[in-house]
């Protein structure tokens, strides 16, 4: 009963704001799907958040040694549409790739938002540890800007492999490091994968806004709701792995759906819900296109995953050993 | 001595860019373009399995990822001696087609439009279109709540900004539509690429995604939606702006630059690859009335490091470069090197491709008085998006026909394992312009890797003889009546669609340590 009342109150409220009931329910259902929770439960918490928050919560998005891939991934969010998040749910104070401002106008917007505090800080890209000068913005080292921004942040979210654990830049001579090393001791929500999954990011931001706290995290700071399961356990090629059928020739339609282990798949030791959630509005994901899982949700990406397209990487050797030891039988996995 | 101002960071581009201009009598007298972030991807690749290259180089850039996979795979194809089956080429081309559609639409609406419209003019919309009224009310509600981020703050609109409420409100409506359309265009690529950004299916020898007819039908349906948007919204918007309110900027030729253009050529129309959708060619010192196109000779490419953070060295071909990183070098001001063709700075990208192709639509605009520059770049992008859409339909038909015949292939499995040694170059024409990847293999590992990317050409600093890079030259003479509001500077720079992470992947940051860079 309680939930029903909350739903009604919220609907009256949004109708007063000119959003019709159907559109709002659709929005809520899509948002709830991000969390994998029931619609009514989510609406109760969202109702509370909307009723108590007098203005849109500010978000600062910083880019360090990045490729903007996480930004593009986030802009690809269709359900709920990213425009509704940017314009209706958050106040995006600073984002180099999206904001209208440039130069000193942009820098002032950053300073004002930091001074006011209470924002969600999203960080994309690694921090160069070999020399600060490998990443300069507005004439200042990215590292310094990051430290300033963390001071008054309500929550810090690292997006993508680079910002979480260093990713590919970690293996370059600029020695990129993730926030785990750049901000030791700080509470950071880690959303790895290269790039970040837009659902993971939108869901985490909205979870924080609805509940006022981070979702439950695993030992390496990843939300359990997205990274609990091993890709392998939900892979549609799993039956072929168990039966020992491995794809060797991409031209052979008979092998088309066989297991990708011999081409370097790291799915058996990678935690993420990619195989269930899939990517790009559910169209596909890495393993479905005849590609392999490169383990981009794990801290060992990229150095422990190379050579990528063989079963000879450190990670692949570990998988093969585990398989030979019978560790992937249904009972144990 | 004029007044110097700096725009840092230049936003709504990929990567970290700083532009400094010297202003005298309200005009730009001199300019410096500086890339301010580097990672060092090339050094990472040395010693790795060559097949890693197409996966890793995709991470040069999260905006134009697929094109690096493409150029890298082509360099690997050449080095491995692999012959990509027609089925593999078609799927690669279709994915690149989706990249063009997404990239150009995103650039016009999300990255550029805010430079040309006074978004607050929507408040004065007096019409009764329900959809447009909803857009107006949305913006008004943001203003009332005193929270118009990220649409403000901004540079103040100037005399060239479009303030007509009818035009602006349509543009804002289409800005919101475009957010969905470019996401959907990336989804087209994901049908075979697995996901975006950073596809999973492009590898040496072809692709990994064995297609089925459902996928072809799905791609076609999604392409239909994109084609409709491009023909009915994107192209009309670009033309309406370019020949309407922005015509003074087009006639003035704002952001022209050196008038030298380079295209490597791309997109096979048939299995023997004789005919290309975008022809290759070089144009030096454009004369629009008599365009002289020379064939491309890649041996004429050299890179200068005189004003970049590397130890001094004479300009050399990317194959023979020698790199010593020097962060403390005097007079250096960028991580971007300075590539030159036959000693000359070049513009690469949509405008270069359409000039090299002697495209009738573009030349029609030029004949009417539009000078090649910032506005023409937007027009060239729109024109070639339509060309790519048409090519996608052709490739889809070809794929559908090929995949139903016996012996259909997508990959050269014979050449999957790396050769003991080899070398190869991969050229491509991504949305932003001419791209080359070079690889040398020794003992089945990468001995050397080098890429010269579009934004390296366009964003380069000065070279040996002091000649400015194309961004820098294109800023000269641009009107900046108010040094605190250099809106024309960002209009010009953004018209190139800068991509700086790409431009500066190539460094050897081991300070003062000599590393030979030899690919003969």
pLDDT digit string, tens, across residues A200-256? 999 999 999 999 999 999 999 999 999 999 999 999 999 999 999 999 999 999 999
* pLDDT classification of A30: cutoffs 50, 70, 90: low
In the A/B pair of chains, how many CB contacts fall below 8 A? 276
**Is the CB of A134 inside 8 Å of chain B's CB atoms?**
yes
pLDDT cut 70: percent of chain A above it: 83
Query: What does DSSP assign to residue B414?
Result: G
Q: Is residue B12 assigned to a domain?
A: no
What's the pLDDT at B11?
76
- B353's tokens: 């491709």
Which chain B residues are Cβ-neighbours of A172 within 8 angstroms?
39-41, 43-44, 509
Query: What does DSSP assign to residue B159?
Result: T
Q: Point out the residue among B39, B55, B210 whose CB comes nearest to the CB of A256.
A: B210
Supply angle C-alpha B315, B320, B325, rounded to 5: 65
Residue A312 has pLDDT above 70, yes or no: yes
CB B288 within 8 A of CB B372: yes
Residue A45 has pLDDT above 60, yes or no: no
Which chain B residues are Cβ-neighbours of A101 within 8 angstroms?
11, 150, 152-155
What's the pLDDT at B446?
95
Q: Is residue B1 assigned to a domain?
A: no
What's the pLDDT at B486?
87
**Closest residue, chain B, to A307 (C-alpha):** B49
Cross-strand bridge partners of residue B262: B282
Which chain A residues are Cβ-neighbours of B208 within 8 angstroms?
250, 263, 289-291
Q: Sign of the C-alpha dihedral, residues A285, A289, A290, A292?
A: negative
Tokens 């792995």 belong to A241
Paired sense of beta strands A153-159 and A119-124, if any: parallel
Which chain B residues are Cβ-neighbours of A137 within 8 angstroms?
8-9, 16, 36-37
What's the pLDDT at B325?
67
What's the pLDDT at B80?
98
What's the pLDDT at B312?
83
Q: Is residue B301 assigned to a domain?
A: yes
CB A170 within 8 A of CB A303: yes
Q: Point out the residue among A100, A134, A135 whose CB comes nearest to the CB of B152.
A: A100
Helix axis angle, A198-211 to A21-35, nearest 10° = 100
Contact across the interface for A67 and B186, Cβ inside 8 Å: no
First to last CA, chain A: 40
Q: Point out the residue among A55, A72, A173 whose CB comes nearest to the CB of B197.
A: A72
CA distance B53 to B42: 9
What's the pLDDT at B492?
93
Closest alpha carbon to A204 in A225, A187, A185: A225
Q: Point out the residue among A65, A136, A286 whose CB comes nearest to the CB of B195.
A: A286
Question: How far is C-alpha B473 from the geometric centre of its chain's CA atoms?
Answer: 18
Which chain B residues are Cβ-neighbours of A106 within 8 angstroms?
9, 11, 153
Q: What positions of A carry a catalytic annotation?
A: 67, 70, 162, 194, 232, 235, 259, 265, 274, 286, 293, 296
CA distance B89 to A282: 25
Contact across the interface for A99 and B191, Cβ inside 8 Å: no
* pLDDT classification of A4: cutoffs 50, 70, 90: very low
CATH label of the domain that carries residue B462: 1.10.645.10
Which chain B residues are Cβ-neighbours of A72 within 8 angstroms?
62-63, 186, 196-197
By three-state DSSP, how is residue B480 classified?
coil
Contact across the interface for B9 and A103, Cβ inside 8 Å: yes
Contact across the interface for A103 and B10, Cβ inside 8 Å: yes
Contact across the interface for A68 and B61, Cβ inside 8 Å: yes
Q: Point out the residue among B114, B149, B190 whose CB comes nearest to the CB of A284.
A: B190
Q: Is residue B5 assigned to a domain?
A: no
**Is the CB of B413 inside 8 Å of chain A's CB atoms?**
yes
Cross-strand bridge partners of residue B6: B20
What's the pLDDT at A170?
93
Q: Point out the residue among B18, B187, B209 whose CB comes nearest to the CB of A289.
A: B209
Please name the residues between 141 and 160 in chain B that touch chain A, using a CB distance below 8 Å: 142, 145, 147, 149-155
Q: Is residue B226 assigned to a domain?
A: yes
Which chain A residues are Cβ-neighbours of B199 within 8 angstroms?
289, 291
pLDDT, mean of residues A39-62: 62
- A211's tokens: 């509940």
Q: Is residue B9 assigned to a domain?
A: no
Q: Is residue B329 assigned to a domain?
A: yes
Which chain B residues are Cβ-neighbours of A73 within 8 angstroms?
62, 196-197
Closest alpha carbon to B40 in B427, B501, B426: B501
**Is the CB of B198 inside 8 Å of chain A's CB atoms?**
yes
ipTM: 0.89
Contact across the interface for A283 and B180, Cβ inside 8 Å: no
Which chain B residues are Cβ-neighbours of A171 within 8 angstroms?
44
Which chain B residues are Cβ-neighbours of A289 within 8 angstroms?
190, 192-194, 199-201, 208-209
Angstroms from A121 CA to nearest CA on chain B: 15
Contact across the interface for B327 and A292, Cβ inside 8 Å: no
Q: Point out the residue among B13, B55, B184 whose CB comes nearest to the CB of A294.
A: B55
Contact across the interface for B149 and A99, Cβ inside 8 Å: yes
CA distance B92 to B71: 11
Supply angle C-alpha A301, B44, B426, rounded to 5: 110
Angstroms from B393 CA to nearest CA on chain A: 21
CA distance B3 to B23: 5
Residue A7 has pLDDT above 70, yes or no: no
Q: Which of A18, A19, A23, A72 is the best mutation test for B, with the most CBs of B within 10 A? A: A72
Please name the residues between 46 and 85 in chain A that touch chain B, using a CB distance below 8 Å: 55-56, 58, 63-73, 75-78, 81-83
Residue B394 main-chain phi, psi, to 5 deg: -60, -45
- B387's tokens: 């060309």
Closest alpha carbon to B167 in B137, B134, B130, B124: B124
Residue B102 main-chain phi, psi, to 5 deg: -65, -45
What's the pLDDT at B504?
52
Write a three-state SS string for chain A: CHHHHHHHHHHHHHHHCCCCHHHHHHHHHHHHHHHCCCHHHHHHHHHHHHHHCCCCCEEEEEECECCCHHHHHHHCCCCCCHHHHHHHHCEEEEECCCCCCCHHHHHHHHHHHHHHCCEEEEEECEEECCCHHHEEECCEEHHHHHHHHHHCEEEEEEEHHHHHHCCHHHHCCCCEECHHHHCCCCCCEEECCCCCCHHHHHHHHHHHHHHCCCCCECCCCCEHHHHCCEHHHHCCCHHHHHHCCECCCCCCHHHCCCECHHHCCCHHHCECCHHHHCECCCCECHHHHCCCCCCCCCCCCCCCCCCCCCCCCHHHHHHHHHHHCCCCCCCCC
What's the pLDDT at B320?
67
Closest alpha carbon to B503 in B329, B349, B380, B313: B349
Residue A188 has pLDDT above 90, yes or no: yes
**Domain residue limits at B85:** 38-516
What's the pLDDT at A26?
57
Q: Is residue B209 assigned to a domain?
A: yes
Please name the residues between 271 and 300 in chain B that touch chain A, using a CB distance below 8 Å: none
Closest alpha carbon to B380 in B275, B274, B263: B263
Q: Structural domain tally of chain B? A: 1
CA distance B317 to A273: 46
**Closest residue, chain A, to B183 (C-alpha):** A76
Supply angle C-alpha B359, B361, B362, rounded to 5: 70
Encode chain B (520 residues) as per-residue pLDDT tens digits: 688 888 877 777 776 788 889 999 999 999 988 876 666 787 889 999 999 999 999 998 888 899 999 999 999 999 999 999 999 999 999 999 999 999 999 999 988 888 899 988 999 999 999 999 999 998 888 888 888 888 877 888 888 899 999 999 999 999 989 989 999 999 999 999 999 999 999 999 999 999 999 999 999 999 999 999 999 999 999 998 898 889 999 999 999 999 999 999 999 888 888 889 999 999 999 999 899 999 999 999 999 989 988 778 889 887 666 556 677 888 888 878 899 999 999 999 999 999 999 999 999 999 999 999 999 999 999 999 999 999 999 999 999 999 999 999 999 999 999 999 999 999 999 999 999 999 999 999 999 888 888 988 999 999 998 999 999 999 999 999 988 888 999 899 999 998 775 555 433 333 322 222 222 2
Residue A280 has pLDDT above 90, yes or no: yes
Contact across the interface for B49 and A310, Cβ inside 8 Å: yes
What's the pLDDT at B520?
23
**Is the CB of B512 inside 8 Å of chain A's CB atoms?**
no
Q: What positions of B carry a catalytic annotation?
A: 14, 61, 64, 68, 432, 455, 499, 502
**Is the CB of B118 inside 8 Å of chain A's CB atoms?**
no
- State pTM to two decimals: 0.90
* pLDDT classification of A54: cutoffs 50, 70, 90: very low
What's the pLDDT at A22?
52
Model pLDDT for residues A126-147, shown as the tens digit of each residue: 999 988 888 888 788 999 999 9
Q: Point out the residue among A66, A139, A307 whose CB comes nearest to the CB of B52.
A: A307
**Closest residue, chain A, to B19 (C-alpha):** A103
């Amino acid at each position: 009963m309680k939930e029903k009342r909350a739903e009604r109150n919220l609907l009256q409220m949004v109708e007063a704001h000119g959003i019709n009931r159907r559109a709002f329910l659709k929005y809520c259902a899509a948002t709830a799907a991000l969390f994998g929770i029931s619609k009514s439960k989510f609406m109760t918490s969202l109702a509370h958040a909307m009723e108590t928050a007098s203005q849109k919560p500010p978000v600062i998005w910083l880019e360090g040694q990045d490729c903007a891939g996480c930004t593009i991934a986030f802009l690809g969010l269709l359900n709920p549409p990213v425009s509704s998040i940017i314009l209706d749910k958050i106040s995006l104070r600073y984002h180099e790739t999206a904001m209208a401002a440039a130069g000193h106008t942009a820098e002032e917007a950053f300073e004002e938002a930091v001074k006011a505090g209470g924002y969600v800080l999203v960080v994309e890209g690694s921090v160069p540890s070999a020399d600060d000068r490998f990443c300069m913005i507005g004439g200042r080292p990215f590292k310094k800007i990051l430290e300033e921004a963390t001071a008054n942040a309500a929550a810090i979210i690292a997006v993508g492999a680079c910002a979480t654990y260093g990713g590919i830049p970690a293996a370059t001579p600029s020695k990129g490091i993730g926030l785990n090393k750049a901000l030791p001791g700080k509470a950071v929500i880690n959303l790895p994968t290269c790039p970040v999954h837009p659902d993971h990011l939108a869901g985490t931001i909205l979870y924080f806004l609805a509940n006022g706290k981070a979702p439950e995290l695993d030992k390496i700071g990843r939300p359990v709701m997205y990274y609990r399961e091993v890709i392998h356990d939900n892979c549609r090629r799993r039956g072929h792995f168990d039966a020992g059928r491995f794809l060797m020739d991409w031209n052979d339609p008979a092998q088309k759906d066989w297991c990708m282990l011999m081409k370097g798949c790291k799915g058996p030791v990678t935690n993420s819900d990619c195989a269930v959630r899939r990517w790009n509005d559910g169209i596909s994901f890495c393993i479905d296109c005849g590609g392999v899982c490169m383990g981009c949700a794990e801290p060992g990406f990229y150095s422990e995953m190379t050579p990528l397209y063989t079963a000879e990487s450190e990670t692949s050797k570990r998988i093969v050993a585990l398989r030979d030891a019978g560790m992937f039988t249904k009972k144990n996995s | 001595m004029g007044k110097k101002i700096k725009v840092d960071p230049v936003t709504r581009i990929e990567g970290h860019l700083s532009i400094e201009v010297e202003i005298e009598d309200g005009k730009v007298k001199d300019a410096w373009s500086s890339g301010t972030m580097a990672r060092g991807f090339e050094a990472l690749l040395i010693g790795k399995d060559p097949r890693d290259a197409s996966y890793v180089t995709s991470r040069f850039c999260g905006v134009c990822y697929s094109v690096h996979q493409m150029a890298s795979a082509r360099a690997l194809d050449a080095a491995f001696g692999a012959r990509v089956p027609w089925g593999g080429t078609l799927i690669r081309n279709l994915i690149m087609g989706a990249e063009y559609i997404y990239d150009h639409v995103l650039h016009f609406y999300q990255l550029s439009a805010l430079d040309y419209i006074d978004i607050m003019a929507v408040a004065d919309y007096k019409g009764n279109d329900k959809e447009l009224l909803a857009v107006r009310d949305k913006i008004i509600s943001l203003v009332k709540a005193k929270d118009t981020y990220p649409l403000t703050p901004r540079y103040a609109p100037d005399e060239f900004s479009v303030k007509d409420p009818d035009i602006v409100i349509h543009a804002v409506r289409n800005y919101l539509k475009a957010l969905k359309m470019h996401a959907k265009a990336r989804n087209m690529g994901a049908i075979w690429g697995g996901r975006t950004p950073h596809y999973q299916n492009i590898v040496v020898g072809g692709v990994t995604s064995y297609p089925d007819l459902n996928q072809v039908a799905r791609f076609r349906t999604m392409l239909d939606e994109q084609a409709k948007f491009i023909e009915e919204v994107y192209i009309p918007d670009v033309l309406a702006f370019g020949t309407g309110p922005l015509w003074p900027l087009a006639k003035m030729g704002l952001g022209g630059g050196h008038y030298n253009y380079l295209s490597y050529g791309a997109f096979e129309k048939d299995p023997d690859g004789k005919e290309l959708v975008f022809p290759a060619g070089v144009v030096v010192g454009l004369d629009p009335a008599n365009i002289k196109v020379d064939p491309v000779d890649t041996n004429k490419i050299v890179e200068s490091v005189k004003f970049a953070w590397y130890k001094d060295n004479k300009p050399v071909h990317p194959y023979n470069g020698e790199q010593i990183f020097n962060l403390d070098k005097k007079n250096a001001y960028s991580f971007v090197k300075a590539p030159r063709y036959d000693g000359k700075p070049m513009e690469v990208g949509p405008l270069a491709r359409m000039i090299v192709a002697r495209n009738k639509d573009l030349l029609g605009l030029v004949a009417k008085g539009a000078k090649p520059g910032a506005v023409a770049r937007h027009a060239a992008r729109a024109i070639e998006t339509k060309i790519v859409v048409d090519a996608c339909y052709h490739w889809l038909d070809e794929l559908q026909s090929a995949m139903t015949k016996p012996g259909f292939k997508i990959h050269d499995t014979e050449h999957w394992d790396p050769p003991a040694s080899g070398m190869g170059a991969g050229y491509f024409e991504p949305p932003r312009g001419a791209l080359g990847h070079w690889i040398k293999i020794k003992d089945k590992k990468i001995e050397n890797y080098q890429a010269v990317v579009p934004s390296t050409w366009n964003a380069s600093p000065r070279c040996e003889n002091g000649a400015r890079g194309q961004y820098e030259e294109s800023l000269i003479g641009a009107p900046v009546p108010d040094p605190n509001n250099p809106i024309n500077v960002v209009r010009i720079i953004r018209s190139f669609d800068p991509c700086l992470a790409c431009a500066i992947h190539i460094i050897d940051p081991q300070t003062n340590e000599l590393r030979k860079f030899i690919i003969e």
